[in-house]
Amino acid sequence: MNANAGNLEVLESALLADIAAAADEQAIEAVRIAALGKKGSVSELLKTLGAMTAEERQVQGPAINGLKNRVTEALAARKAELKNAAVAARLVAETLDVTLPVRQSPAERGRIHPISQVIDEIAAIFGDMGFAIAEGPDIETDHYNFTALNFPVGHPAREMHDTFFLQAAEGNEAKLLRTHTSPVQIRTMEAQKPPIRIVIPGKTYRMDSDATHTPMFHQLEGLVIDRTANVANMRWVLEEFCKAFFEVPSLKMRFRPSFFPFTEPSLEVDIQCDRSRPGEVRFGEGNDWMEILGCGMVHPNVLRAGGLDPDEYQGFAWGMGIDRIAMLKYGMPDLRAFFDADVRWLSHYGFRPLDMPTLFGGLST
Ligand code: DAH
């Protein structure tokens, strides 16, 4: 190819236009390869110098090399320009507004569910009284949920539990979702010797659903077994718990006779409350009563089922609804909202994760 001055000018202005139009580093690199790469338009022109006569080369040499140098310079200049533009764009995008309020970390933004909070409060209160926490499986056998707790087969009290049964494998007895936390009484007696002082928080299940019942709910079971545990001890423990939990200095309790297969005698406990203000219940004052839990002395058959000799050991037990006492303490009207996983509800009723309840620091402050 014999480049004349006109051709070089056309090529130069085309290359300079391409360079000016390159919008990023990739585009500029493409232009560079097209001009100065091994097979680039300028490189091909340089190759033609070898075949020229000395006179031709004297004219074309400086012309083509001049073109090459100007294109090289334009490429470098455009590259630097793009780099500066990128830095400027980044500076704009990454500005830090130091007047903005500090954003809460995820750990600070999260909220503890009222059920978890109440379980922590319960653990703090009973832990202070020397109780340990025990747990058991949600899927239970008929034996632990009923028979060992002195519900004879065919006893009408079984029907009252609205039990969810699981599909049984061929030839096996159907397992069930535990209807109460009481089966953990038996499991604990089997696993450890008295003295036993435990509380058992956990999920329980019954076929039931309305504003104050959900198919899954939570119970707190308590169990004390030694050689002398008696009703007076039970009364003290429950009274101390209720005062600490509802954060009142004093509170009257009323014990009414009741029936549970696993206790004898069985009692139902009401606590003093005031319902005179609309939409509000206050504990430890007023002339009203509210049922709060069931309790009693552990039935000899239950001790036997747990492998203990009722002539040697005796004890008391109680059970109450965790969801219910949470609703009462924190004024939440509908139980179903507990399990809707609605972030708005949780940020309203939930608790700050770093405020762990303790007796000395205040349970709910
Ligand atoms: N298991 C009973 C229920 O779910 C509650 C209960 C009552 C538990 C009396 C006890 C007790 O340990 O002594 O209805």
Angle between the N-to-C axes of helices 322-330 and 114-128, in degrees from 0 to 180, rounded to the nearest 10: 100
Neighbour tally for 214: CB within 10 Å: 19
Whether the CB-CB separation of 294 and 258 falls below 8 Å is answered with yes
What is the per-residue pLDDT for 37?
Answer: 92
Cα 102 from chain centre? 24
The pLDDT of residue 84 is 92
Residues with CB under 6 A from ligand 1: 180, 182, 221, 260, 263, 294-296, 317-319
Q: CA-CA distance, 359 to 133, in Å (whole number)? A: 17
Token pair for 358? 């303790």
8 A C-beta contact, residue 200 and residue 217: no
Closest by CA to 125, choosing from 218, 244, 235, is 244
Tokens of 163: 């039990």
Q: How far is the CA of 273 from the centre of ligand 1 (A)?
A: 22
Whether omega before 265 lies within 30 degrees of 0, making that bond cis, reads: yes
Q: Which residues are annotated as a binding site?
A: 264
Atom of ligand 1 nearest to the CA of 179: 4
101: left (phi over 0), alpha (psi -120 to 50) or beta: beta
pLDDT in tens, 112-156: 999 999 999 999 999 999 999 999 999 999 999 999 999 988 887
Give the pTM.
0.72
For 93, 182, 201, 245, 358, the CA distances from 331, given in Å and listed in that order, are 47, 27, 21, 14, 21
Beta bridge partners of 132: 198
Q: Which CATH class is domain 109-349?
A: alpha beta
Domain limits of the chain? 5-93, 109-349
Strands 196-205 and 132-133: parallel
Instruction: For residue range 342-357, list pLDDT tens digits in order.
Output: 999 999 999 988 788 8
